[in-house]
Amino acid sequence: MTYTMKLFKDEFNNIKCNNKRIEVRLNDEKRKKIKSNDKILFYKLPYLDENVLVNVEQVFIFPSFLDIYRYFPITNFGYKNMGVKEILNKIHTIYTKKEEDSMGVVAIKFNILGDSDMKNF
């Protein structure tokens, strides 16, 4: 199965440059369906004119974003100069704490697929 997701510029560029290997989201109905070996086509906001295709390696469910950032090294998320508190503040501008508490969160570990994989897509 192939899913689409939208990312802000910095997050998108971190994936494209292979600096980011894990995407975090709320564990909503769409994310609950994602499994290993599924594909995700990430689109760059705001114009959706660039994309990158990844293969899902593993999906991890956690109760909170803090739990994710404690479990995995920060470098997996493309953050080089940010601490956990700063990262949480940033993510809570996108998702509310209430949403996080009610749905839980998911960490999607992936690898980027090459241009030849995109041609077959």
What's the pTM?
Answer: 0.93
Contacts of 64 (CB under 8 A, 6+ apart): 100, 101, 104, 105
71 closest CA partner among 114, 105, 47 = 105
- Would you state the pLDDT for residue 80? 83
Contacts of 39 (CB under 8 A, 6+ apart): 1, 2, 3, 53, 54, 55, 56, 113, 121
- Would you state the pLDDT for residue 117? 60
Residue corresponding to tokens 């501008």 = 93
At 110 the three-state DSSP class reads strand
32 closest CA partner among 57, 10, 70, 60 = 60
Mean pLDDT per segment of 10 residues, for the chain of length 121 residues?
97 95 98 98 97 98 98 92 94 96 98 70 56
